[in-house]
Amino acid sequence: MPIDPTATSLLTIDLGALVANYRTLRDHAGSSECACVVKADAYGTGAKAAVRALLQAGCESYFVATFGEAEIIRTAARDATIYVLDGFFAGSGPAFAEQAIRPVLSSLAEVKDWAAFCREYGSALPAAIHADTGMNRLGLPRREVEQLAGEPDLLASFKLALFMSHLACADEADHPLNETQLTAFEALRAMLPECPASLANSAGIFLGARYHFDLVRAGFALYGGKAIAGREPLNAVVRLDARIVQIHDARSGESVGYGAQQILQRPTRIATISLGYADGILRSLGAREGKNGLTGYIEGHEAPALGRVSMDLITLDVTDVPEGIARRGAWVEIIGEHVSVDDLAQQAGTIGYEVLTSLSRRAQRVTLGPEDK
């Protein structure tokens, strides 16, 4: 690990692993195109560098949540296809057109706004249509798809580049809603003029070829997340280490941290590391009497959390770690070989998506290029 003497925490992003994961997902998708979902700064890993690496690996289509994110992707990928999942608002059409960014239209009203903009602009610009097949979050409900199907003028005003929907339970392969959504998706698709279709997210890719259609939208699994319970995740992309800023000894019976929630049961050597909830290490990862918190690893030695997670600091029990190893300035692995993003999430009572997207902007970032692998 390259060590900058001023760094207090390091977020290492392995673009080689990202690219390897992309290739694996693309292979799983068979003849379907594998698009990459790079919203939320590529799930916290850094969108620009991620997109550059993915472009080199051959990815041509990207999905983001907002227009601002799309603009950033456009600077890295001049010719790529970019979709904005949250769609567009009336008045923002010129901004989309200028940068050749495609909105994902999620209601009939939005379709009408886009069609009106395209007529005014004088060009049938491409957009995706998102239909709701049972998640009740975004998308045209069935009756709106039917209505749209009956309005050829509206459909002729823009280019229907993609028809898509989103699965609510793809991570549970046996969930009956998957099959229900698939059936609904096929029925809705048949109502509209023929165009490429997309239903699967990362987990959906593993539901089998019937879910792949023309394009799959890979997100979490690209970044090393465990997309489906029971299936091994792909390569880890993210690693997080923090430095020990102080080591000290405390007596049995003393408390540690805010709220004095943990009372030491033995003479304890404590390492305080420079990482906290402001770095995305959730407070639920703290320890108290009767509840374990996160575990850090120092050269492979376990160092369990003691007491609450503070904004910038976490206290670890290093009593059983050899003194020469648990020393001021040493690095402690919080996410890495011993603890995956999903492990940490499970311990925090959340999902890996939240852990990834919460990770610190304060940590110094080390990006391992795909060529370093």
Ligand X SMILES: *Cc1c(COP(=O)(O)O)cnc(C)c1O
- What's the rounded Cα separation, in Å, for the pair 337 and 339? 6
Give the position of tokens 């420079």: 274
3-state secondary structure (DSSP) of residue 133? coil
Nearer to ligand X, 104 or 368 (CB): 104
What is the smallest separation between the CB atom of 177 and ligand X, expressed in angstroms? 15
Binding of residue 51 to ligand X (CB under 6 A): no
Binding of residue 202 to ligand X (CB under 6 A): yes
Q: Report residue 79: phi and psi, to 5°.
A: -110, 0
Nearer to ligand X, 235 or 255 (CB): 235
What is the smallest separation between the CB atom of 288 and ligand X, expressed in angstroms? 33
Residue 209 tokens, joined: 């070829």
Bridge partners of 87, per DSSP, are: none
- What's the rounded Cα separation, in Å, for the pair 358 and 278? 9
Binding of residue 219 to ligand X (CB under 6 A): yes
Smallest CA-to-CA distance from 196 within 168, 222, 216 is with 216
Binding of residue 59 to ligand X (CB under 6 A): no
Query: What residues numbered 259-278 form the site for ligand X, per CB under 6 A?
Result: none
Nearer to ligand X, 138 or 156 (CB): 138
Binding of residue 218 to ligand X (CB under 6 A): yes
Q: By the 8 A CB rule, do 254 and 264 touch?
A: yes
- What's the rounded Cα separation, in Å, for the pair 243 and 289? 25
Query: What residues numbered 333-372 form the site for ligand X, per CB under 6 A?
Result: none
What is the smallest separation between the CB atom of 211 and ligand X, expressed in angstroms? 12
How many other β-carbons are positioned within 10 Å of the β-carbon of residue 263?
13
What is the smallest separation between the CB atom of 217 and ligand X, expressed in angstroms? 4
Task: Out of 85, 125, 140, 294, name the contact with ligand X by CB under 6 A.
Answer: 85
Binding of residue 220 to ligand X (CB under 6 A): yes
Binding of residue 178 to ligand X (CB under 6 A): no
Catalytic residue among 39, 43, 83, 277: 39
- What's the rounded Cα separation, in Å, for the pair 287 and 305? 6
Nearer to ligand X, 87 or 336 (CB): 87
Binding of residue 166 to ligand X (CB under 6 A): yes
Binding of residue 70 to ligand X (CB under 6 A): no
- What's the rounded Cα separation, in Å, for the pair 341 and 285? 13
Report the chain's terminal Cα–Cα distance, integer Å: 14
Query: Residues interacting with ligand X, by CB under 6 A?
Result: 37, 39, 85, 166, 201-203, 217-221
**Active-site positions?**
39, 258
